[in-house]
Copies of this chain bind each other. A is one copy, B any other.
Amino acid sequence: MNPASVGIVETQYLDLPGSLRLDSGRTLRQVRVAYETYGTLSPARDNVILVCHALSGDAHAAGLSSAPPEEGTRDGFAAAGSPKGIGWWDGMIGPGKAFDTDRYFVVSTNLLGGCRGTTGPSSVNPDTGRPYGSDFPVITVADMVRCERAFLDSMGIHRLAAVAGGSLGGMQALEWATSYPDQVDTIVVIASTHALQPQGVAWNAIARESIMRDPAWQGGDYYGTGRAPDAGMGVARMVGHITYLSAPSLAEKFGRRLQSGDDIRYTLHEPEFEVESYLRHQADSFVRRFDANTYLHLSRALTYFDLRLPEAAKSITARTLLIAFSSDWLYPPSGSETIAAALRDEGKPVELHLIDAPYGHDCFLLEEARQIPVVRAFLHEGRP
């Protein structure tokens, strides 16, 4: 075991006592939240960091899971060299790391709509006794944050030293800072945005179309039918995966190398180029661990998200750390710059770090070494 690891952890579950009122006007009841915690809650309960995962993550953010899953959530370029069952943000969470478990009590939940323990479309609808499927309500990032707030209330935690996340996780941090400004001291928003750019809206729409056009999707009610829209979700994942990487990083990793030595095989069906084979592998491993309806709902939610700047900057009081990556064309640095400018215009404390790195959006999971000192320094600031 790596000395900087939080060790072996087991995902736990908590059932929210009340019901959850959603932006759409609908209500969810008997909501279960899957979560993990790392570190020790201080007697004053003032050392809590909530980490929020992105589209394909789960509650298992750090350490090794007691029962390693079939497929890890660290995939793509990040899978290389990672032990099976390691948390998706293990490089950032642990003793002496960015989110230092010697100091902080780090809480990670699977978000609302998820498929890894928290109530989502594949959960049983208490009204019918069957999985929600097509009846799961359309949710928003604000709904996810409402769920996290209710979960923390149940845990007796009423104030957060920090909310942190990348991508969709960063949107949740921003939403926390605007929805509950008096309950959040700092937010750490990595490779995220106040509102997805139209090209990102398009990529997400394409991914959803690919799932919904798969006849096995069956309008969303595929649970228990023995069929699932794996084909469509595989394509959705391929689209997502390429948007998470940069063209130069693909060129460096794969070039135009062929699968079978020097010669093409004149085939439509089989991968000819290594990058084609890689894409298939990414798709196949993703569909084994992820639910298509969850993909649809989370994709929809992150597309909807709009912080409504510059007005929203007025309500934010949390110190804000923004980290963006030069090669991230899905969540380009301009988004972080817009947020920073809006906060500065309101005289709010904000730091923006642009990290020059080649791996695209996935930098937020791949470039941990350069994020750690930035996050540590930011969290430490103003503390004894």
Knowing A137-B266, A213-B234, A238-B209 are in contact, say whether A279-B198 is a contact too (CB < 8 A): no
Find out whether the CB atom of B203 lies under 8 angstroms from the CB atom of A276.
no
Q: Tell me, yes or no, whether A380 is within 8 Å of chain B by CB.
A: no
Q: Which residue of B lies closest to A204 (CB)?
A: B276
Q: Copies per complex?
A: 2
Stretch of A1-9, A102-110, A300-308, A366-374 with 4 or more beta carbons under 8 angstroms from chain B: A300-308
Knowing A205-B279, A215-B215 are in contact, say whether A199-B235 is a contact too (CB < 8 A): no
User: Among residues 249 to 270 in chain A, which have CB atoms less than 8 Å away from a CB atom of chain B?
Assistant: 250-251, 253-256, 264, 266-269
Q: Which B residues are CB-close (under 8 A) to A201?
A: 256, 273, 275-276
Interface of A, helix, strand, loop or mixed by DSSP: helix
Knowing A205-B273, A205-B279 are in contact, say whether A138-B266 is a contact too (CB < 8 A): yes
Q: Which B residues are CB-close (under 8 A) to A269?
A: 212
Chain A, residues 335-368, CB within 8 Å of chain B (1/0): the string is: 0000000000000000000000000000000000
Rounded to whole Å, the gap between the CB of A133 and the closest CB of chain B is 12
Bound CA span A82–B220, Å:
40
Q: Tell me, yes or no, whether A210 is within 8 Å of chain B by CB.
A: yes
Q: Tell me, yes or no, whether A247 is within 8 Å of chain B by CB.
A: yes
Chain A, residues 212-226, CB within 8 Å of chain B (1/0): the string is: 111100001000000
Find out whether the CB atom of B138 lies under 8 angstroms from the CB atom of A268.
yes
Bound CA span A163–B5, Å:
63
Q: Which B residues are CB-close (under 8 A) to A297?
A: 268
Find out whether the CB atom of B235 lies under 8 angstroms from the CB atom of A279.
no
Bound CA span A201–B277, Å:
11
Q: Which B residues are CB-close (under 8 A) to A198?
A: 247, 250-251, 253-256, 273, 275
Q: Tell me, yes or no, whether A231 is within 8 Å of chain B by CB.
A: yes
Chain A, residues 228-253, CB within 8 Å of chain B (1/0): the string is: 00011011001100100101001101
Find out whether the CB atom of B235 lies under 8 angstroms from the CB atom of A272.
no
Bound CA span A173–B306, Å:
46
Bound CA span A232–B229, Å:
13
Q: Which residue of B lies closest to A239 (CB)?
A: B206
Rounded to whole Å, the gap between the CB of A136 and the closest CB of chain B is 9
Residue of A195, A231, A255 contacting most chain B CB atoms (<10 Å)? A231
Q: Which B residues are CB-close (under 8 A) to A14?
A: none
Bound CA span A266–B198, Å:
18
Rounded to whole Å, the gap between the CB of A359 and the closest CB of chain B is 13
Q: Tell me, yes or no, whether A181 is within 8 Å of chain B by CB.
A: no
Find out whether the CB atom of A251 lies under 8 angstroms from the CB atom of B213.
no
Bound CA span A245–B365, Å:
28
Q: Tell me, yes or no, whether A296 is within 8 Å of chain B by CB.
A: yes
Bound CA span A300–B271, Å:
11
Q: Tell me, yes or no, whether A197 is within 8 Å of chain B by CB.
A: yes
Residue of A210, A255, A267, A304 contacting most chain B CB atoms (<10 Å)? A210
Q: With contacts A206-B279, A209-B238, A268-B300 known, what are 4 further pairs, Cβ within 8 A? A: A199-B251, A206-B238, A210-B235, A215-B231
Residues of A bordering B, CB below 8 Å = 23-24, 137-138, 195-199, 201-203, 205-206, 208-210, 212-215, 220, 231-232, 234-235, 238-239, 242, 245, 247, 250-251, 253-256, 264, 266-269, 271-273, 275-276, 279-280, 283, 296-297, 300, 303-304, 306, 329, 332
9 closest Cβ pairs, A-B complex: A213-B231, A138-B266, A199-B247, A24-B266, A205-B276, A198-B250, A206-B238, A210-B235, A198-B254
13 intermolecular pairs with C-beta atoms under 8 Å apart: A137-B266, A198-B247, A199-B247, A202-B276, A203-B242, A206-B239, A209-B234, A209-B235, A213-B234, A220-B268, A235-B235, A268-B297, A272-B303
